[in-house]
């Protein structure tokens, strides 16, 4: 996992919890990196899972909620760090439909060794879409939060129905997205 993501996570913990919390969760984890992440570096995703677990223990917020919260935060950060992949789209559906073939393809060119998940979609009707997330990493909660952050960014209201399918490792999740109101209505 890219250092960029770790840096964003640590900045979020520092701002929304405290600098002491950052030190505590790093100390309590077994990290090859020792918690020193550079944006362009690549680190085991297990380090993120350890940091989130330690934050969960200390904050008494369950891990899925923390990952989802981080996903929402991360999307808003992407709008600042990489607006070029976001602002040209008119709606959440527009962006989600090109996530796999455009956005994450560009991300892999930009960040060496980036390991992005696979997203597939099926239009169910004009305002309903099945969005399928598959990854070797168990980050469906983070994906869920990223989708919510995306919906918020475009000023839409959407119901998100989620089904986690059984997998040995990683994740395979179906999201049924139903736009209730968009920015134009």
Interface residues with ligand HEM (CB under 6 A) are: 1-2, 4-5, 75, 78, 82, 85-86, 96, 99, 103-104, 107, 111, 114-117, 135, 137, 139, 142-143, 146-147, 150
Closest separation in Å from C-beta 84 to ligand HEM: 9
Sign for the pseudo-dihedral over CA of 72, 102, 159, 79: positive
When the beta carbons of 23 and 106 are compared against ligand HEM, the nearer one is 106
Of residues 42, 96, 115, 89, the one with CA closest to residue 183: 89
CA dist 133 and 121 (Å) reads: 9
Closest separation in Å from C-beta 36 to ligand HEM: 17
Cβ atoms of 128 and 61 within 8 Å: the answer is: no
The percent helix, strand, coil of the chain (3-state, each to 5) is 50, 20, 30
When the beta carbons of 24 and 152 are compared against ligand HEM, the nearer one is 152
When the beta carbons of 58 and 121 are compared against ligand HEM, the nearer one is 121
When the beta carbons of 19 and 180 are compared against ligand HEM, the nearer one is 180
Closest separation in Å from C-beta 85 to ligand HEM: 5
The overall longest dimension of the chain from CA atoms, in Å, is 50
């Amino acid at each position: 996992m890219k250092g960029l993501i770790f840096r964003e996570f640590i900045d979020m913990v520092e701002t929304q919890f405290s600098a002491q919390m950052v030190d505590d969760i790093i100390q309590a984890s077994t990290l090859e990196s020792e918690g020193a992440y550079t944006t362009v570096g690549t680190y085991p995703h297990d380090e993120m899972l350890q940091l989130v677990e330690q934050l969960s223990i200390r904050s008494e917020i369950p891990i899925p909620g923390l990952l989802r919260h981080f996903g929402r935060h991360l999307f808003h950060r992407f709008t600042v760090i990489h607006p070029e992949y976001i602002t040209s789209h008119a709606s959440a559906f527009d962006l989600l439909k090109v996530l796999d073939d455009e956005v994450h393809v560009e991300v892999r060119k930009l960040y060496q060794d980036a390991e992005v998940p696979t997203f597939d979609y099926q239009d169910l009707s004009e305002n309903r879409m099945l969005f399928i997330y598959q990854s070797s990493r168990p980050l469906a909660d983070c994906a869920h939060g990223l989708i919510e952050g995306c919906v918020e960014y475009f000023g839409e209201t959407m119901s998100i129905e989620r089904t986690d399918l059984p997998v040995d490792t990683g994740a395979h999740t179906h999201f049924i997205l139903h736009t209730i109101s968009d920015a134009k209505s």
